[in-house]
Amino acid sequence: MFVLGIDPGVSRCGYGAVRQEDGQPVAVVSGVLTTPVSDALEHRLAQLMRELRLLLSRLAPDVVVVERVLFQANARTAMSVGQASGLALAAAGEIGVPVVQYSPNEVKQAVAGWGNAGKQQVQRMVQSLLDLPETPSPPDRADALALALCHLATAPLAQAVARADAKANGPRRAEDKSPEPKSAHVGPVAPVPAGAPA
C-alpha cells in the first residue's frame, strides 16, 4: 500500500508519502508546500490547489490521508486548515483516489502510543518508525508522515473488521426478508371541506 499523508494549511501544507514494503513502512518523499502570505487568499488557494494536483499526479498514491480538525482554539488557524483540507480532498476526488481522515489524537495514539503526545515526541517516533537519519522537520512534514503511518497501522484492522462484519451478516436470504408493508389506504381520499380544521 502506498499512502500520501497531507497535513493541511494554506501557509504551510505538509506532505509525506510512505510505502509498505515487506511489512515495514518506508518513507518515499516528504516536504512542505508553501504559499506567500503577502498574496491574496484566492491566489494562494489556487497555487496550493495546483501544487496538490501536481503532487498527486506525480506520486499516484493508493490512498490520501488528511488530518481531520475537530477543534481549534484559533479561529483563523481553523479556517486556514479547513480551506487547505478541502483542497486536498477535492484534488484526490478529481482523480478518484480514496481519502481517509484521522484526528490529531488518533494519529498521535497510533504513532506515539499516546493521544496527547507533543510535536517533538511525534517527530522522534516518525524518525524511529521510518528509520530516518534525522528528525523530520518542520513539524508539518513530520505530521504528514505520521498521518501516513497512522493509516498503515489502522487500515488492516479496519479491513479485518469489515470482512468479519460482512461474513457475520452475509447476504440476506429471500425467506429472511421482511414482507413489504401493505398500505392501509383503501379507496379515494375524501376532500377536506373549506373552513374545516386541519
Residues recognised as catalytic:
7, 67, 140
Cell digits for 130? 521510518
CA distance 178 to 36: 61
Q: Do residues 130 and 145 touch, judged by C-beta distance below 8 A? A: yes
Q: Going edge to edge, which strands form the sheet with 12-21? A: 24-34, 12-21, 2-7, 63-67, 99-102
Cα 120 from chain centroid (whole Å): 22
The 3-state DSSP composition of the chain as helix, strand, coil percent (nearest 5) reads: 45, 20, 35
For residue 39, give every residue at least 6 positions away whose Cβ sits within 8 Å of its Cβ, in sequence order, or none. Answer: 47
Cell match 502510543: residue?
113
